Amino acid sequence: MTTAELIRRLRESFGPAIRSVAEPVAGKVRVAVAPEVVVRAAKALTQEYDARFLITAGIDSREERGCFDVDHIFSLDNDNIFVILRASVPGDSPKVAAITPEIPAAGWAERELQDLFGVKAEGHPDPRRLILPDDWPDGVYPLRKDVKYGDWPPVGDETTDAPYPFKQAPEGTSTVVVGPFFPVLEEPVQLRLFVDGERVVDCDYRGFYNHRGIEKMGDSELSYNEIPFIAERICGICGFIHSSCYCETAEEAMGFRAPRRARYIRGIMLELERLESHLLWTGIAGHILGFDTVLMQTWRMREPLMWLCEKISGNRKTYGMNIVGGVRRDIPKELHPDILGVVDKIEQEWSQLVNAVEGDTTLRARLVGVGMLPEATARAIAVVGPTARGSDLHIDARADHPYAAYDEVPAKVITHPGCDNWGRVLVRLLETLESVRWIREALKQMPDGPILSDEIPEEIPSGQWGACTIEAPRGEAIHYVLTGGDNRPARWRVRAPTYANLQALPSMIKNETIADVPITLGSMDPCFSCTERVEVINARSGESDVINHEELLARSRAATERLRRR
């Protein structure tokens, strides 16, 4: 389907309810509709055109147009088309009908819209807070323009704080609380498992203990070319993915592409990062299962790769290479033998590991038929990456929406029909070998030329937008940029792959045993973030108390002073 045909059919279906259509870049369409038809339009995109929900971006447009814009972003993967379905709601009474009852994948995105913009998603089946902490005051919405970056609103006290409304345990079940701090979880999250004996009946999830306000910083404090260095810190493993995704999105909004050589360099670094991540994940998965030989071997294989990245960029992990318009460092031909030597060695050792894992009966017993995520459920929740491909969904941004050099060096999409933890393991194992092949081919085809564009505009008009997806090791990341004045975006929206995948966890662990929950959670390679809030639990009484940043800092200093006096 072409964008012209899509627009024609939408106009036939919704007539005057379509208020405007814009296609600033081929394959990127924004359709503004009357708020009263947004649910029907979203349902039509998913059911009639096989569109996949990606994320919702709220925009505070009160100063310009007296409204809030609610942009639901969809992908027509088979046609390489992005559709932004926009509903504009009054600034003095912001509310819009929730699309979640029709599109379950939008559940978190619409809760976040309520938390951060105060736009009520009417009819949402679970309107509880998602992002904001329990003591955050009502009526303060951090991503509105009248809330300045660095503002610290007054927090409630113990007489006004309401405890988080966790789901009630079903009758006849007990509650097992996992987290916020738990040995298998590198970062904080709380799972409440409702169990009947050893069997998980249902669960409730409480995350976002560690929201850092990066989008707010990008909208208000950082220039276009400062953001890549913050974007790279969104994730400790997928940093280059986020800086590449932002840069490609900003370049699209500004109307140009980075030079071919720069795009090849981005692709090579992205695949090196995929190798790093898959090697790390496989070791951790082995550790979760008690197979520490896998942990030690994969992390041994990974170390020369880290040294190689340091040789290319100057850093083992946070490379600092991307800027809008291209890259800051070249990959000269003198480095090609070093890269090929490392990936050749990884391929040799990894092939042996794949054979060992595939033939291990104990691993198969722990993974086959466990953590089931049927294809239909995976599609409804819109999971991404190996979590989707392990349920036989052919979704990969490198093939669906080519970026960097993937339009010239295609990547093979690896899928598995198992719909279980075993399928997700095999997808990652085979993707590692595919990354080695892609790097070899890209080095062979890499063109000469500049690594930074000379087409970067001196003045960037407001109101231009771009959207880009990049396939991180965990799955598809998406960035959305709306240009603003003063050399910075008016809106920068980020969705990491874990955000989409975690919403499938209740389905994946239902009817599993408690012992299988850690590896099922681990099978999606979840990434949370750093935290400034903790929950303190008195081990004797069992009472808990949530403390804020200042209280935590005061306690830390007091403990340090006591130690010093000793």
* CA–centroid distance for 173 within its chain: 33
The structural domains of the chain, with segments of one domain joined by +, span 3-148, 214-523, 534-565
Whether the CB-CB separation of 322 and 240 falls below 8 Å is answered with: yes
| 407: pLDDT strictly greater than 90 | yes
Output the six-digit token pair for 538: 């008195």
Interatomic CA distance for residues 371 and 523, integer angstroms = 9
More confident residue, 269 or 524: 269
Predicted confidence band at 533 (pLDDT cuts at 50, 70, 90)?
Answer: very low
What's residue 531's pLDDT? 30
Rounded alpha-carbon distances, angstroms, from residue 352 to 294, 362, 414, 455 = 12, 18, 19, 47
Residues 221-227, mean pLDDT to the nearest whole number: 92
Q: What are the residues facing 57 on neighbouring strands?
A: 71
| 406: pLDDT strictly greater than 90 | yes
What's residue 528's pLDDT? 60
Interatomic CA distance for residues 286 and 295, integer angstroms = 6
Whether the CB-CB separation of 238 and 473 falls below 8 Å is answered with: yes
More confident residue, 162 or 224: 224
For 257-278, write each residue's pLDDT tens digit.
999 999 999 999 999 999 999 9
| 539: pLDDT strictly greater than 50 | no
| 534: pLDDT strictly greater than 50 | no
Q: What are the residues facing 31 on neighbouring strands?
A: 21, 85
For 88-106, write each residue's pLDDT tens digit.
999 998 999 999 999 999 9
Whether the CB-CB separation of 230 and 217 falls below 8 Å is answered with: yes
What's residue 559's pLDDT? 66
What's residue 537's pLDDT? 41
What's residue 307's pLDDT? 95
Predicted confidence band at 7 (pLDDT cuts at 50, 70, 90)?
Answer: very high
Whether the CB-CB separation of 201 and 168 falls below 8 Å is answered with: no
| Angular region, 314: left φ>0, alpha ψ -120 to 50, beta rest | left
Angle between helices 421-445 and 260-288 (to 10 degrees): 150
Domain 3-148 superfamily per CATH? NADH:ubiquinone oxidoreductase Nqo5 subunit (3.30.460.80)
Whether the CB-CB separation of 173 and 201 falls below 8 Å is answered with: yes
For 337-362, write each residue's pLDDT tens digit.
999 999 999 999 999 999 999 988 99
Interatomic CA distance for residues 346 and 328, integer angstroms = 27
Interatomic CA distance for residues 398 and 469, integer angstroms = 9
Interatomic CA distance for residues 360 and 345, integer angstroms = 23
CATH number of 214-523: 1.10.645.10
For 12-23, write each residue's pLDDT tens digit.
999 999 999 999
Interatomic CA distance for residues 382 and 398, integer angstroms = 17
| 149: pLDDT strictly greater than 90 | no
For 29-73, write each residue's pLDDT tens digit.
999 999 999 999 999 999 999 999 999 999 999 999 999 999 999
What's residue 554's pLDDT? 74
Nearest to 371 by CA among 360, 359, 383, 361: 383
